[in-house]
Amino acid sequence: MCVGRYKYHSFYYLLYNAGEPKKKRRKKEHSYALLLAYQGKRYCGMQVQKDQPTVEGELFKAMAQCGYIPEEDIFSPIRFSFQRAARTDRSVSAARQMCSMRLFLENHENFLKTATGELNKHLPDDVRVLGVRRAIRTFTAHRDCDKRTYSYTLPTFAFARPDELTTSKYRISEISIADLNDVLAMYKGTHNFFNYTSGKLVSFYRTLS
């Protein structure tokens, strides 16, 4: 009798609910690490700004176009816990820049497979996503970064002596290069760099290799 009642109710449930749409898969929040590279020449730094071209501005617009974030979050990255390992200024480029974020997505596995290609379709040629990986829940690119590598390029006439002519034909001498390297070598190792900071850091000690 119980079995018959079960079949009876199941039949009418299927009859009256056959036309109802299936429930959408619930979106789940996951943490991700995104590796970025960009040429900063035409940008006013990395950090997103309204009315200014920035690297993050291009990235967030691409993310919105792909449906990874709502359009209203483009200028509010705190809403998806976005962090970058290091902030770069106007015209500064990055060969490798690590970013972290938390996203609500319906299909996590598909995102990992396709996000790099989909984002690059919507990004300008001077901003490229190199890869996306799942991260642990507590990962943040800024806090968990334990090392940063910087490369500075400048014309050699910046090191010319006051009495030297610095026309376009100027080339620094081997002796001057050796003297410069001797001075720069003094910064190697662990030192207190208080005089090079705003004075608001937790620690002023840094190690240069």
What does the pLDDT average to over 138-166? 86
Q: How many other CB atoms sit within 10 Å of the CB of residue 167? A: 6
Interacting residues of 93 by C-beta distance below 8 A, sequence separation 6+: 38, 39, 40, 41
Q: Where are the domains of the chain?
A: 28-135, 156-208
Nearest residue to 140 via CA among 95, 101, 96:
101
Judge whether residue 24 has pLDDT over 80.
no
Residue 125 is a catalytic residue: no
pTM comes to 0.73
Binned at pLDDT 50, 70 and 90, residue 54 comes out as very high
Architecture per CATH, domain 28-135, reads as 2-Layer Sandwich (3.30)
Helix axes 108-122, 55-65, angle to 10 degrees: 120
Q: Is 62 exposed, middle or buried (0-12, 13-18, 19+ CB in 10 A)?
A: buried
Judge whether residue 23 has pLDDT over 60.
no
List 51, 89, 163, 179, catalytic entry: 89
Q: Which residue has better confidence, 167 or 49?
A: 49
